[in-house]
Amino acid sequence: MTRADKLVIVGVLVAATLLGSSFWLWKAHNQITDVPQVIIEVNGEIKEQIPLTELKPGKQYQIQGVLGYSVVEGGENKVRMVESPCPDKICVGMGWIEHPGEVIVCLPNRVVVRIIGKSNTKLDGISQ
Amino acid sequence: MGTREEQTRRLLYLSLLVAGGTVLHVIESYLPALGALPGAKLGLANIVTMLALMAYPPADVWKVVGLRVFLGSLLGGTLLTTTFFLSSAGAVGSAIVMMLALKWGKGVISTVGISILGAVAHNLSQLIVAAFLTHSWGIFFYLPYLLLFALPTGYFIGILTRLIRRALPSFFSVESAGNDKNQQDLDHQCGICQ
Protein backbone atom coordinates (compact mmCIF):
# COMPACT_ATOMS: atom_id res chain seq x y z
CA MET A 1 0.00 0.00 0.00
CA THR A 2 1.32 3.40 -0.92
CA ARG A 3 0.94 6.61 1.02
CA ALA A 4 -1.83 7.73 -1.33
CA ASP A 5 -3.72 4.52 -0.58
CA LYS A 6 -3.52 5.16 3.14
CA LEU A 7 -4.67 8.72 2.50
CA VAL A 8 -7.70 7.39 0.63
CA ILE A 9 -8.55 5.02 3.47
CA VAL A 10 -8.17 7.69 6.13
CA GLY A 11 -10.18 10.10 3.97
CA VAL A 12 -13.06 7.64 3.66
CA LEU A 13 -12.96 6.92 7.40
CA VAL A 14 -13.03 10.62 8.25
CA ALA A 15 -15.84 11.31 5.76
CA ALA A 16 -17.90 8.42 7.14
CA THR A 17 -17.38 9.53 10.73
CA LEU A 18 -18.18 13.17 10.00
CA LEU A 19 -21.27 12.34 7.95
CA GLY A 20 -22.43 9.74 10.46
CA SER A 21 -22.08 12.00 13.47
CA SER A 22 -23.66 14.99 11.74
CA PHE A 23 -26.62 12.89 10.61
CA TRP A 24 -26.92 11.55 14.12
CA LEU A 25 -26.83 15.02 15.65
CA TRP A 26 -29.31 16.32 13.10
CA LYS A 27 -31.66 13.45 13.85
CA ALA A 28 -31.35 13.93 17.62
CA HIS A 29 -32.05 17.62 17.15
CA ASN A 30 -35.16 17.00 15.09
CA GLN A 31 -36.50 14.22 17.30
CA ILE A 32 -39.70 16.11 18.06
CA THR A 33 -40.82 16.35 14.48
CA ASP A 34 -40.26 12.65 13.98
CA VAL A 35 -43.40 12.03 16.02
CA PRO A 36 -46.53 12.70 13.95
CA GLN A 37 -48.39 15.78 15.14
CA VAL A 38 -52.12 16.27 15.40
CA ILE A 39 -53.03 19.73 14.22
CA ILE A 40 -56.39 21.33 14.81
CA GLU A 41 -57.16 24.36 12.68
CA VAL A 42 -60.04 26.79 12.61
CA ASN A 43 -60.31 28.86 9.45
CA GLY A 44 -56.79 27.79 8.56
CA GLU A 45 -55.40 29.04 11.86
CA ILE A 46 -53.64 26.49 14.05
CA LYS A 47 -55.41 26.25 17.40
CA GLU A 48 -53.82 23.12 18.81
CA GLN A 49 -50.75 21.04 18.04
CA ILE A 50 -50.42 17.80 19.94
CA PRO A 51 -47.89 15.02 19.37
CA LEU A 52 -49.83 11.92 18.36
CA THR A 53 -48.20 9.86 21.09
CA GLU A 54 -49.42 12.25 23.79
CA LEU A 55 -53.06 11.57 23.03
CA LYS A 56 -54.76 9.60 25.76
CA PRO A 57 -58.06 7.77 25.42
CA GLY A 58 -60.88 9.98 26.58
CA LYS A 59 -58.82 13.17 26.54
CA GLN A 60 -60.94 15.84 24.87
CA TYR A 61 -60.22 19.16 23.30
CA GLN A 62 -62.90 21.80 22.88
CA ILE A 63 -62.41 23.91 19.82
CA GLN A 64 -64.27 27.16 19.24
CA GLY A 65 -65.37 27.14 15.62
CA VAL A 66 -67.56 29.44 13.57
CA LEU A 67 -70.84 27.83 14.69
CA GLY A 68 -69.83 26.72 18.15
CA TYR A 69 -67.72 24.18 19.97
CA SER A 70 -66.36 21.13 18.23
CA VAL A 71 -65.08 18.39 20.51
CA VAL A 72 -62.07 16.37 19.42
CA GLU A 73 -61.26 13.22 21.36
CA GLY A 74 -57.98 11.36 21.61
CA GLY A 75 -57.49 7.62 21.54
CA GLU A 76 -54.50 5.31 21.60
CA ASN A 77 -52.37 7.12 19.02
CA LYS A 78 -55.44 8.21 17.11
CA VAL A 79 -57.94 11.02 17.12
CA ARG A 80 -61.59 11.63 16.18
CA MET A 81 -64.32 14.23 16.26
CA VAL A 82 -66.99 13.36 18.82
CA GLU A 83 -69.20 16.41 18.83
CA SER A 84 -69.86 19.15 16.36
CA PRO A 85 -72.43 21.89 16.07
CA CYS A 86 -72.72 21.36 12.33
CA PRO A 87 -76.02 20.05 10.89
CA ASP A 88 -74.78 17.04 8.94
CA LYS A 89 -72.15 15.56 11.38
CA ILE A 90 -70.05 14.23 8.55
CA CYS A 91 -66.92 14.96 10.58
CA VAL A 92 -68.17 12.83 13.48
CA GLY A 93 -69.09 10.08 11.04
CA MET A 94 -65.53 9.98 9.71
CA GLY A 95 -64.39 8.18 12.82
CA TRP A 96 -60.76 7.78 13.87
CA ILE A 97 -57.71 8.98 11.99
CA GLU A 98 -54.24 7.77 12.92
CA HIS A 99 -51.86 8.05 9.96
CA PRO A 100 -49.92 11.08 8.78
CA GLY A 101 -51.78 12.69 5.91
CA GLU A 102 -55.25 11.82 7.19
CA VAL A 103 -57.72 14.65 7.74
CA ILE A 104 -61.08 15.25 9.37
CA VAL A 105 -62.85 18.28 7.98
CA CYS A 106 -65.88 20.04 9.32
CA LEU A 107 -66.71 22.64 6.73
CA PRO A 108 -69.68 24.30 8.41
CA ASN A 109 -67.72 24.89 11.61
CA ARG A 110 -64.45 25.55 9.66
CA VAL A 111 -62.59 23.02 11.81
CA VAL A 112 -59.87 20.83 10.33
CA VAL A 113 -58.08 18.07 12.22
CA ARG A 114 -55.05 16.70 10.44
CA ILE A 115 -52.07 14.50 11.22
CA ILE A 116 -48.75 15.61 9.84
CA GLY A 117 -45.39 13.87 9.96
CA LYS A 118 -43.30 11.34 8.22
CA SER A 119 -45.31 8.39 7.05
CA ASN A 120 -43.51 5.29 8.17
CA THR A 121 -43.45 3.54 4.84
CA LYS A 122 -40.45 1.27 4.50
CA LEU A 123 -38.19 1.23 1.47
CA ASP A 124 -39.32 -1.27 -1.06
CA GLY A 125 -37.38 -2.99 -3.77
CA ILE A 126 -33.88 -4.33 -3.59
CA SER A 127 -30.83 -2.37 -4.61
CA GLN A 128 -28.03 -4.19 -6.30
CA MET B 1 -4.40 0.38 -34.06
CA GLY B 2 -1.59 -1.93 -35.00
CA THR B 3 -1.48 -5.07 -37.01
CA ARG B 4 -4.33 -7.37 -37.76
CA GLU B 5 -3.10 -9.78 -35.12
CA GLU B 6 -3.05 -7.10 -32.45
CA GLN B 7 -6.56 -6.06 -33.39
CA THR B 8 -7.80 -9.61 -33.08
CA ARG B 9 -6.12 -9.95 -29.70
CA ARG B 10 -7.72 -6.76 -28.50
CA LEU B 11 -11.16 -7.88 -29.65
CA LEU B 12 -10.63 -11.23 -27.96
CA TYR B 13 -9.47 -9.75 -24.68
CA LEU B 14 -12.27 -7.20 -24.59
CA SER B 15 -14.78 -9.98 -25.23
CA LEU B 16 -13.25 -12.00 -22.41
CA LEU B 17 -13.56 -9.03 -20.10
CA VAL B 18 -17.22 -8.56 -21.04
CA ALA B 19 -17.91 -12.27 -20.53
CA GLY B 20 -16.11 -12.32 -17.19
CA GLY B 21 -17.87 -9.17 -16.04
CA THR B 22 -21.26 -10.54 -17.02
CA VAL B 23 -20.68 -13.74 -15.05
CA LEU B 24 -19.45 -11.84 -12.00
CA HIS B 25 -22.44 -9.50 -12.26
CA VAL B 26 -24.86 -12.43 -12.24
CA ILE B 27 -23.02 -14.31 -9.49
CA GLU B 28 -23.04 -11.20 -7.37
CA SER B 29 -26.80 -10.83 -7.73
CA TYR B 30 -27.23 -14.31 -6.27
CA LEU B 31 -25.10 -13.60 -3.23
CA PRO B 32 -27.12 -12.84 -0.11
CA ALA B 33 -27.14 -9.21 1.00
CA LEU B 34 -24.08 -8.41 3.07
CA GLY B 35 -25.34 -7.18 6.40
CA ALA B 36 -28.70 -5.50 6.48
CA LEU B 37 -27.57 -2.58 4.35
CA PRO B 38 -29.23 -2.06 1.00
CA GLY B 39 -26.53 -1.47 -1.59
CA ALA B 40 -23.73 -3.06 0.41
CA LYS B 41 -22.03 -5.64 -1.75
CA LEU B 42 -18.66 -6.96 -2.75
CA GLY B 43 -18.46 -5.35 -6.16
CA LEU B 44 -16.96 -8.34 -7.94
CA ALA B 45 -17.72 -6.88 -11.37
CA ASN B 46 -15.48 -3.96 -10.50
CA ILE B 47 -12.52 -6.31 -10.97
CA VAL B 48 -13.27 -6.39 -14.68
CA THR B 49 -13.66 -2.63 -14.91
CA MET B 50 -10.27 -2.20 -13.26
CA LEU B 51 -8.56 -4.75 -15.48
CA ALA B 52 -10.00 -3.02 -18.53
CA LEU B 53 -8.88 0.37 -17.23
CA MET B 54 -5.33 -0.82 -16.80
CA ALA B 55 -4.94 -2.25 -20.26
CA TYR B 56 -7.23 -0.29 -22.56
CA PRO B 57 -8.14 3.30 -23.41
CA PRO B 58 -11.37 4.79 -21.95
CA ALA B 59 -13.44 4.14 -25.10
CA ASP B 60 -12.86 0.41 -24.75
CA VAL B 61 -13.51 0.53 -21.01
CA TRP B 62 -16.95 2.05 -21.62
CA LYS B 63 -17.77 -0.73 -24.05
CA VAL B 64 -16.82 -3.32 -21.45
CA VAL B 65 -18.76 -1.59 -18.66
CA GLY B 66 -21.86 -0.94 -20.78
CA LEU B 67 -22.03 -4.44 -22.21
CA ARG B 68 -21.36 -6.00 -18.82
CA VAL B 69 -24.27 -4.16 -17.17
CA PHE B 70 -26.59 -4.81 -20.10
CA LEU B 71 -25.83 -8.53 -20.42
CA GLY B 72 -25.64 -9.05 -16.66
CA SER B 73 -29.06 -7.47 -16.17
CA LEU B 74 -30.48 -9.38 -19.11
CA LEU B 75 -29.33 -12.71 -17.68
CA GLY B 76 -30.27 -11.74 -14.14
CA GLY B 77 -33.77 -10.72 -15.25
CA THR B 78 -33.48 -7.18 -13.97
CA LEU B 79 -33.24 -5.36 -17.29
CA LEU B 80 -34.93 -1.92 -17.17
CA THR B 81 -36.05 -2.37 -13.57
CA THR B 82 -34.98 -0.19 -10.66
CA THR B 83 -32.14 -2.60 -10.01
CA PHE B 84 -30.87 -2.09 -13.54
CA PHE B 85 -30.70 1.67 -13.15
CA LEU B 86 -28.97 1.33 -9.82
CA SER B 87 -26.43 -1.09 -11.29
CA SER B 88 -25.77 1.19 -14.23
CA ALA B 89 -25.31 4.21 -11.99
CA GLY B 90 -22.89 2.32 -9.76
CA ALA B 91 -20.91 0.89 -12.65
CA VAL B 92 -20.63 4.20 -14.52
CA GLY B 93 -19.86 6.20 -11.37
CA SER B 94 -17.11 3.89 -10.21
CA ALA B 95 -15.65 3.66 -13.73
CA ILE B 96 -15.43 7.45 -14.01
CA VAL B 97 -13.78 7.86 -10.62
CA MET B 98 -11.33 4.99 -11.16
CA MET B 99 -10.47 6.35 -14.58
CA LEU B 100 -9.63 9.74 -13.08
CA ALA B 101 -7.78 8.16 -10.18
CA LEU B 102 -5.66 6.13 -12.58
CA LYS B 103 -4.99 9.16 -14.74
CA TRP B 104 -4.14 11.68 -12.03
CA GLY B 105 -2.74 9.29 -9.47
CA LYS B 106 -0.45 7.47 -11.82
CA GLY B 107 2.62 6.30 -9.96
CA VAL B 108 1.19 7.39 -6.62
CA ILE B 109 -1.88 5.36 -5.91
CA SER B 110 -1.95 1.57 -6.12
CA THR B 111 -4.67 -0.81 -7.24
CA VAL B 112 -6.05 -1.03 -3.71
CA GLY B 113 -6.52 2.73 -3.42
CA ILE B 114 -8.17 2.91 -6.83
CA SER B 115 -10.46 0.04 -5.91
CA ILE B 116 -11.55 1.72 -2.68
CA LEU B 117 -12.25 4.96 -4.55
CA GLY B 118 -14.26 2.95 -7.06
CA ALA B 119 -16.28 1.30 -4.30
CA VAL B 120 -17.03 4.66 -2.70
CA ALA B 121 -18.05 6.13 -6.06
CA HIS B 122 -20.26 3.10 -6.67
CA ASN B 123 -22.16 3.66 -3.43
CA LEU B 124 -22.41 7.39 -3.92
CA SER B 125 -23.78 7.28 -7.45
CA GLN B 126 -26.21 4.52 -6.50
CA LEU B 127 -27.52 6.54 -3.60
CA ILE B 128 -27.98 9.61 -5.78
CA VAL B 129 -29.96 7.65 -8.37
CA ALA B 130 -31.92 5.87 -5.64
CA ALA B 131 -32.78 9.23 -4.09
CA PHE B 132 -34.12 10.41 -7.44
CA LEU B 133 -36.10 7.22 -7.98
CA THR B 134 -37.67 7.23 -4.52
CA HIS B 135 -37.97 11.04 -4.25
CA SER B 136 -36.50 10.88 -0.79
CA TRP B 137 -33.14 12.12 0.37
CA GLY B 138 -33.55 10.18 3.57
CA ILE B 139 -31.64 7.25 2.18
CA PHE B 140 -28.46 9.29 2.45
CA PHE B 141 -28.53 8.25 6.09
CA TYR B 142 -27.06 5.00 4.80
CA LEU B 143 -24.06 6.78 3.33
CA PRO B 144 -21.75 6.66 6.39
CA TYR B 145 -22.35 2.94 6.81
CA LEU B 146 -21.84 2.31 3.10
CA LEU B 147 -18.61 4.31 3.19
CA LEU B 148 -17.30 2.22 6.06
CA PHE B 149 -18.35 -0.88 4.19
CA ALA B 150 -16.59 0.23 1.03
CA LEU B 151 -13.21 0.04 2.78
CA PRO B 152 -12.96 -3.73 3.31
CA THR B 153 -14.76 -4.60 0.07
CA GLY B 154 -12.69 -2.13 -1.95
CA TYR B 155 -9.51 -3.45 -0.35
CA PHE B 156 -10.46 -7.04 -1.09
CA ILE B 157 -11.39 -6.28 -4.70
CA GLY B 158 -8.15 -4.34 -5.16
CA ILE B 159 -6.04 -7.27 -3.96
CA LEU B 160 -8.02 -9.67 -6.15
CA THR B 161 -7.52 -7.46 -9.19
CA ARG B 162 -3.79 -7.33 -8.55
CA LEU B 163 -3.54 -11.10 -8.24
CA ILE B 164 -5.58 -11.69 -11.37
CA ARG B 165 -3.48 -9.26 -13.35
CA ARG B 166 -0.31 -10.96 -12.21
CA ALA B 167 -1.74 -14.24 -13.44
CA LEU B 168 -2.46 -12.72 -16.84
CA PRO B 169 0.77 -11.06 -17.98
CA SER B 170 -0.01 -11.29 -21.68
CA PHE B 171 -3.16 -9.31 -21.08
CA PHE B 172 -1.24 -6.23 -20.20
CA SER B 173 1.45 -6.32 -22.79
CA VAL B 174 -1.06 -5.41 -25.47
CA GLU B 175 -1.33 -1.66 -25.19
CA SER B 176 -0.20 0.98 -22.78
CA ALA B 177 2.46 -1.36 -21.47
CA GLY B 178 4.36 1.50 -19.85
CA ASN B 179 1.28 2.55 -17.97
CA ASP B 180 0.93 -0.86 -16.45
CA LYS B 181 4.63 -1.22 -15.68
CA ASN B 182 4.35 1.82 -13.51
CA GLN B 183 1.35 0.39 -11.70
CA GLN B 184 3.02 -2.96 -11.14
CA ASP B 185 6.11 -1.39 -9.64
CA LEU B 186 3.84 0.36 -7.19
CA ASP B 187 2.00 -2.79 -6.38
CA HIS B 188 5.23 -4.54 -5.54
CA GLN B 189 5.44 -2.31 -2.51
CA CYS B 190 2.42 -4.11 -1.14
CA GLY B 191 3.44 -6.70 1.39
CA ILE B 192 0.28 -8.76 1.48
CA CYS B 193 0.33 -10.16 -1.99
CA GLN B 194 3.99 -10.87 -2.41
Query: Secondary structure of A50-62 in the HEC alphabet?
Result: EEHHHCCCCCEEE
Restricting to A residues 20-79, those with a Cβ less than 8 Å away from any Cβ of B are 20, 23, 27
How much helix, strand and coil, in percent to the nearest 5, is found in chain B? 75, 0, 25
Residue in chain B closest to A9 (alpha carbons) equals B151
Taking the model in full, what pTM does it have? 0.67
Query: Secondary structure of chain A in the HEC alphabet?
Result: CCHHHHHHHHHHHHHHHHHHHHHHHHHHHCHHHHCCEEEEEECCEEEEEEEHHHCCCCCEEEEECCCCEEEEEECCCCEEEEECCCCCCHHHHCCCECCCCCEEEECCCCEEEEEECCCCCCCCCCCC
Average pLDDT, chain B: 84
Indicate if A59 and A3 belong to the same structural domain: no
Q: What is the pLDDT of residue A31?
A: 58
> Which pLDDT tens digit goes with each residue over B92-136?
999 999 999 998 988 889 999 999 999 999 999 999 998 888 777
Indicate if A44 and A11 belong to the same structural domain: no
Q: Which residues of B touch A30 (CB under 8 A)?
A: none
Q: Is residue A86 assigned to a domain?
A: yes
Q: What is the pLDDT of residue B185?
A: 56
Q: Tell me what the mean pLDDT of segment A1-28 comes to.
A: 88
Indicate if A90 and A27 belong to the same structural domain: no
Q: Is residue A121 assigned to a domain?
A: no
- CB of A10 within 8 Å of any CB in chain B? no
Q: Is the pLDDT of residue A91 over 80?
A: yes
Indicate if A25 and A40 belong to the same structural domain: no
The residues spanned by each domain of chain B are: 4-169
Q: Is the pLDDT of residue A120 over 70?
A: no
Q: Is residue A10 assigned to a domain?
A: yes
Q: Is residue A122 assigned to a domain?
A: no
Total domains in chain A come to 2
Percentage above 70 pLDDT, chain A: 87
Indicate if A107 and A95 belong to the same structural domain: yes
Indicate if A74 and A92 belong to the same structural domain: yes
CATH number at residue A87: 2.60.320.10
Percentage above 70 pLDDT, chain B: 84
Residue spans of chain B under pLDDT 50: 176-178, 191-194
Kindly determine whether residue A4 and residue B134, on different chains, have CB atoms separated by under 8 Å: no
Count of CB pairs separated by less than 8 Å, A with B: 77
Q: What is the pLDDT of residue B194?
A: 38
Residue in chain B closest to A6 (alpha carbons) equals B113
Q: What is the pLDDT of residue B37?
A: 67
Q: Is residue A124 assigned to a domain?
A: no
User: Which residue of A16, A125, A126 is in closest CB contact with B148?
Assistant: A16
Q: Tell me what the mean pLDDT of segment A26-40 comes to.
A: 74
Q: What is the pLDDT of residue A94?
A: 87
Best interface-test mutation with A: which of B147, B156, B184 has the largest number of A CBs within 10 A?
A: B147
Q: Which residues of B touch A5 (CB under 8 A)?
A: 109-110, 112-113, 116
Indicate if A64 and A11 belong to the same structural domain: no
Evaluate whether B111 touches B60 at the Cβ level (below 8 Å): no
- Please count the residues of chain A: 128
Q: What is the pLDDT of residue B72?
A: 92
Evaluate whether B64 touches B47 at the Cβ level (below 8 Å): no
Indicate if A13 and A76 belong to the same structural domain: no
Q: Which residues of B touch A20 (CB under 8 A)?
A: 144-145
Q: Is residue A105 assigned to a domain?
A: yes
Q: Which residues of B touch A16 (CB under 8 A)?
A: 143-145, 147-148
User: Which residue of A4, A9, A20 is in closest CB contact with B151?
Assistant: A9
**Cα–Cα distance for residue pair B142/A40, rounded to 1 Å:** 35
What residues make up the domain containing A55?
Answer: 35-116
Q: What is the pLDDT of residue A44?
A: 81
User: Which residue of B33, B151, B189 is in closest CB contact with A2?
Assistant: B189
Indicate if A44 and A100 belong to the same structural domain: yes
User: Which residue of A3, A9, A17 is in closest CB contact with B116?
Assistant: A9
Q: What is the pLDDT of residue B53?
A: 92
Kindly determine whether residue A4 and residue B83, on different chains, have CB atoms separated by under 8 Å: no
**Span B4-169 CATH architecture:** Orthogonal Bundle (1.10)
Higher pLDDT, B62 or A78: B62
